[in-house]
Amino acid sequence: MRPTFAAVKGLILLSVSPLLPFASLPVHAEDAQLERLGWLAGCWASEKGEPGSVEHWLPLAGGTMLGIGRTVKNGRTVEHEFLQIRLNAEGQVVYVALPSRQKEATFVATSIGDRAVTFENPEHDFPQRILYKAVGETGLAARIEGQRNGTTRGIDYPMKRVACEPVRTP
């Protein structure tokens, strides 16, 4: 005797029923928010800085985008920064910065738009806000802002996309 369609369907449902709570979750659901920031990956050179003043972002992998920044003045590195964009324990997108000669600071994404993101940490000394916005296909407007000594400040860092190749300096 052959089993009926209803019987086979019942056996299939019984065998997969422990997995049903996960059926609606996409693979790597935790990365979905981070994938929206994929436009930031690549190499960006400062439009106002000396050659070698750059910010590089690796594409999302393992739940983290890693970045590094360097500021060159008079032919010497004067600042550097190690960066991460990832999810914190609460599932929020965060920007973790470790600038040269400073303590690590974490900023929570308060806005993730189409090729724009804002991170904030009102408890940080300066800045309290970090913004990135794509400008056309090859530009990036980065900005830090907040209060310092009771005065509102903002500093713009216009950048352009460059090839991720070694920078040749004279």
Domains of the chain by start residue, with CATH: 28-162 (2.40.128.20)
pLDDT band at 29 (very low <50, low <70, confident <90, very high): low
Query: Per-residue pLDDT for 22 more than 90?
Result: no
- How large is the average pLDDT for residues 123-151? 96
Percent above pLDDT 70 for the chain? 80
User: Nearest Cα to 131, choosing from 154, 99, 151?
Assistant: 154
Sign of CA dihedral 155, 156, 161, 166: negative
> How far apart are the C-alpha atoms of 16 and 58, rounded to whole Å?
38
Residue of higher predicted confidence among 6 and 65: 65
Q: What is the pTM of this model?
A: 0.80
Per-residue confidence band for 8, with pLDDT thresholds at 50, 70 and 90? very low
pLDDT at 103: 96
**Per-residue pLDDT at 109:** 98
Q: pLDDT tens digits, residue range 32-73?
A: 899 999 999 999 999 999 999 999 999 999 999 999 999 999
Peptide bond into 51 cis (omega under 30): no
Burial of 15 (0-12, 13-18, 19+ CB in 10 A): exposed
- pLDDT for the residue 155: 96
Q: Label residue 160 exposed, middle or buried (CB < 10 Å: 0-12, 13-18, 19+).
A: middle
